[in-house]
Amino acid sequence: MNLLGLLASLKTLELFTNDALMLKRHSPYLSGFHYNRDLLGAAVANTHVETLNARSDSPYLAARRSATYTMKDAFFSMISVTTKPSKVNERRLIIAFDYLIEDFYGDRDTL
């Protein structure tokens, strides 16, 4: 991926996080920029945010304060923006989701 593509992807992710968690852009408070750094770090390390730093409560609390519909709207908005260049709306497409309804704090091998 080229640098411009990477920057565009990070900006899209930041906008999604801000919209999904109802965070203010360019605010003196924590925003999607800060949360995404932690979330991407956890993804790269294939672990939970809690294992990387002491600030893990912030994204959790922001998600708890947000309404489900704002997350859903932000997600579908992001999908429509990111898939528009590939004309995916002209094709049949299946999107799969994986979610865990209960809080999980334990060994991932025990799932």
- Residue 111 pLDDT > 60: no
pLDDT confidence band for 98 (50 / 70 / 90): low
Model's pTM, two decimal places? 0.62
Tokens of 3: 């640098």
- Residue 106 pLDDT > 70: no
Neighbour tally for 30: CB within 10 Å: 16
Neighbour tally for 101: CB within 10 Å: 5
- The 10s digit of each residue's pLDDT in 38-68 is 888 888 888 877 777 777 777 778 888 888 8
Give the pLDDT score at 59. 78
Q: Where are the alpha helices (DSSP H) in 1-111?
A: 3-20, 32-45, 57-65, 68-83
Number of domains in the chain: 1
Segments forming the whole domain that contains residue 91: 3-110
